C-alpha cells in the first residue's frame, strides 16, 4: 500500500468524529436532550429572516461575499439578513444598511490541522448556542464553492439553525465528500472555472430558490460600494494627520505596498520589491506607505529602511477599517495575493498583484487568479509563465519559488499600464507630465 493511500485512510479515521454524518447525529442528540433548540417545522413561502454563514478570518474571502448581500436583498427586500464572519472582518458589515446583525466567529489558530478542525467545530457550536439559538431563521446560506474544512464549517453553522431552507454548493462539486449535502435542503451545482464572487452571487439561482430572473451583473469588474462606504466613514482627521506625518513633504502622492501574505509561496522577494519602489519613485515621484499586520512589522520595516527617503511602514498601526481608508486615498496598490489587494481592487484603486500561480495552469485552485483575483475595474495580476520543478501544475512549496520568475520589469510595465490608465479619472492625482511621458 502506498504512503499516499495510508495517509488518506488515516485522515478519514482522524476526522470521522467531525464528519457530516456524525455531526448530524450529535446535533440530534443535543436537541433531544434540549441542549439545542429543535429545528423549525413546516415550509415557508418567502424567507423573512436569513443567515449568511461565512465564518472566514481571511479578508479576501470576506470581501468577496459582500456582493451576495446585495443579491439576497434584491430577491427578498423585506427580509432581515444576519451574517456570521471572522471577528477581524466584522467591521465591513457593522453599519451595513442591509445587514441586521453580525455574529463574530473567533477561530482557533492552532498549527495542528486535526486540533484546529475539532476546536473550530466546537467554537461554531458554542457561538450558535450563545448568540444565535433564539433566532428562527427561514433561510441559511453557506456560499463558499469548494469543500475545504472552512466550507464544511460554514455548512455546519447553516445546519445548526434548523432553517427550513438551507442552501450551499454540493460537497462533491470539487471531488469532496457528497455526504455534506445531507446538511442541506437545496443543493447547487455548477460554477466550474468561475470567479468566486460569481459563484456566490449565482448560488441562490442555482439552488432553485430564485423568485425571479435577475439581470446579470459583472460583479468581478465592478467596485464594491460597501467598501467605499467603509473607507469614507474612516477617513478621519486623525487618520489624515497620520498619513501626512508619514509621507515625506517632497512627495504629495502615495502608493500602498503590501509585502506580506498568509503563505510564503505567495511572497514576491523583498529585494525585487525594493527595486520596483525605486523605479516608481524615479518615474512618478511617489512615496510609499508599507502596510501589513503586526506579524509583518519586521519585514515591512526592513523594506522601508531600504528606501528611507520615500517609504515608511505602517504595519500593525491600523485596523482593517483604517487600512481601507488609507488605501482608498492612494494612487496605486502593489502587493501579493492577500487581503489588502482585495480591498484595493474593490475600492477601484489601480491594483497590481503578483501571483505564484502559473499562467499554464487553469485549475480551480485557491491561488488561481481566475478564481480569486481581486474584484474591481483596475486590477492587473502578474504571474509566472509556468511552474518551476518540482512544482506541477501549480506552486506547492511553502517558500517563495515559482513567484521568483516574475521580474521587476514585468511588474514595472504592469504598473505603468495601470497608472497611464488612471489619467482622466479621479485617481489621477499623479503628475500629469510623468504619466504623459513614460
What does the pLDDT read at residue 250? 61
Number of C-beta neighbours around residue 10 at 10 A: 10
| Backbone dihedral region for residue 376 (phi beyond 0: left; psi -120 to 50: alpha; all else: beta) | left
Domains with residue ranges and CATH for the chain: 3-206 (3.40.50.2000), 225-436 (3.40.50.2000)
Q: How far apart are CA 212 and CA 214, in angstroms?
A: 6
pLDDT per residue of the chain (438 residues) written in tens, 0 to 9: 677 677 777 777 788 888 999 999 999 999 999 889 888 766 788 999 999 999 998 899 999 999 999 999 999 999 999 999 999 899 999 999 999 999 999 988 777 877 888 999 999 999 999 999 999 999 999 999 988 888 999 999 999 999 999 999 999 998 888 999 999 999 999 999 899 999 999 999 999 998 888 787 889 999 999 999 999 999 999 888 888 888 766 667 899 999 999 899 999 999 999 999 999 999 999 999 999 999 999 999 999 999 999 999 999 999 999 999 999 999 999 999 999 999 999 999 999 999 999 999 988 888 899 999 999 999 999 999 999 999 999 999 999 999 999 999 999 999 999 998 664 444 444 443 343 333
Specify the residue for cell string 475595474.
377
Helix (H, G, I), strand (E, B) or coil at 104: strand
Residue 323's nearest CA partner among 413, 242, 425, 391 is: 242
Q: How far apart are CA 166 and CA 360, in angstroms?
A: 37
What does the pLDDT read at residue 438? 38
Residue 194's nearest CA partner among 266, 140, 146 is: 146
Residue 59's nearest CA partner among 274, 212, 227, 214 is: 227
Q: Is the peptide bond before 390 cis (omega within 30 degrees of 0)?
A: yes
In 63-210, where do the E strands start and end? 80-86, 101-105, 139-142, 165-169, 186-188
Q: Measured in Å, how far apart are the chain's first and last C-alpha atoms? A: 61
Q: How far apart are CA 359 and CA 212, in angstroms?
A: 38
Query: Cβ(417)–Cβ(373) under 8 Å?
Result: no
Kindly tell me the burial class for residue 253, based on how many C-beta atoms sit within 10 Å of its own C-beta (0-12, 13-18, 19 or more).
Answer: middle
CA pseudo-torsion sign 232, 237, 242, 248: positive
Pairing of strands 332-336, 351-354: parallel
Element (H, E) at 255: strand 254-258
What does the pLDDT read at residue 253? 87
Q: How far apart are CA 147 and CA 176, in angstroms?
A: 6
Pairing of strands 186-188, 254-258: unpaired
Residue 156's nearest CA partner among 127, 124, 188, 114 is: 124
- Grid cell at residue 259: 509585502
Is pTM, for the whole model, over 0.85? Answer: yes
Give how far Cα 42 sits from Cα of 110, 135, 140, 408, Å. 40, 16, 15, 61
Amino acid at each position: 500500500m502506498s504512503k499516499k493511500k495510508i495517509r488518506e485512510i488515516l485522515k478519514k479515521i482522524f476526522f470521522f468524529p467531525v464528519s457530516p454524518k456524525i455531526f448530524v447525529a450529535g446535533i440530534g442528540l443535543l436537541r433531544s436532550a434540549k441542549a439545542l433548540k429543535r429545528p423549525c417545522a413546516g415550509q415557508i413561502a418567502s424567507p423573512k429572516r436569513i443567515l449568511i454563514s461565512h465564518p472566514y478570518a481571511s479578508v479576501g474571502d470576506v470581501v468577496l461575499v459582500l456582493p451576495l448581500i446585495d443579491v439576497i436583498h434584491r430577491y427578498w427586500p423585506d427580509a432581515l439578513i444576519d451574517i456570521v464572519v471572522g471577528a477581524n472582518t466584522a467591521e465591513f458589515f457593522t453599519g451595513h444598511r442591509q445587514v441586521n446583525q453580525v455574529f463574530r466567529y473567533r477561530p482557533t489558530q492552532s498549527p495542528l490541522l486535526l486540533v484546529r478542525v475539532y476546536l473550530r467545530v466546537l467554537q461554531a457550536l458554542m457561538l450558535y448556542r450563545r448568540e444565535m439559538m433564539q433566532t428562527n431563521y427561514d433561510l441559511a446560506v453557506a456560499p463558499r464553492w469548494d469543500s475545504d474544512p472552512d466550507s464544511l464549517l460554514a455548512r455546519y453553522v447553516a445546519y445548526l439553525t434548523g432553517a427550513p431552507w438551507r442552501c450551499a454548493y454540493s460537497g462533491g462539486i470539487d471531488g469532496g465528500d457528497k455526504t455534506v449535502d445531507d446538511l442541506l435542503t437545496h443543493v447547487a451545482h455548477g460554477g466550474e472555472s468561475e470567479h468566486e464572487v460569481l459563484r456566490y452571487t449565482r448560488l441562490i439561482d442555482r439552488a432553485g430558490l430564485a423568485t425571479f430572473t435577475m439581470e446579470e451583473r459583472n460583479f468581478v469588474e465592478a467596485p464594491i460600494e460597501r467598501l467605499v462606504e467603509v473607507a469614507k466613514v474612516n477617513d478621519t482627521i486623525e487618520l489624515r494627520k497620520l498619513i501626512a506625518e508619514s509621507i515625506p513633504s517632497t512627495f504629495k502622492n502615495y502608493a500602498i505596498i503590501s509585502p506580506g501574505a498568509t503563505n510564503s509561496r505567495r511572497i514576491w522577494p523583498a529585494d525585487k520589491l525594493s527595486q520596483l519602489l525605486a523605479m516608481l519613485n524615479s518615474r512618478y515621484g511617489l512615496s510609499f506607505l508599507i502596510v501589513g499586520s503586526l506579524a509583518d512589522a519586521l519585514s515591512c520595516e526592513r523594506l522601508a529602511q531600504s528606501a528611507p527617503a520615500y517609504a515608511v511602514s505602517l504595519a500593525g498601526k491600523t485596523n482593517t477599517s483604517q487600512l481601507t481608508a488609507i488605501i482608498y486615498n492612494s494612487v496605486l496598490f502593489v502587493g501579493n495575493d492577500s487581503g489588502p489587494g482585495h480591498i484595493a481592487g474593490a475600492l477601484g484603486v489601480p491594483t497590481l498583484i503578483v501571483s505564484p500561480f502559473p499562467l499554464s495552469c487553469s485549475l480551480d485552485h485557491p491561488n488561481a487568479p481566475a478564481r480569486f483575483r481581486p474584484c474591481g475595474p483596475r486590477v492587473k495580476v502578474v504571474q509566472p509563465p509556468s511552474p518551476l520543478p518540482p512544482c506541477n501544475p501549480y506552486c506547492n512549496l511553502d517558500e517563495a519559488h515559482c513567484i521568483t520568475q516574475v521580474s521587476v520589469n514585468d511588474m514595472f510595465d504592469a504598473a505603468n499600464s495601470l497608472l497611464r490608465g488612471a489619467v482622466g479619472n479621479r485617481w489621477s492625482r499623479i503628475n500629469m507630465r510623468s504619466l504623459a511621458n513614460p
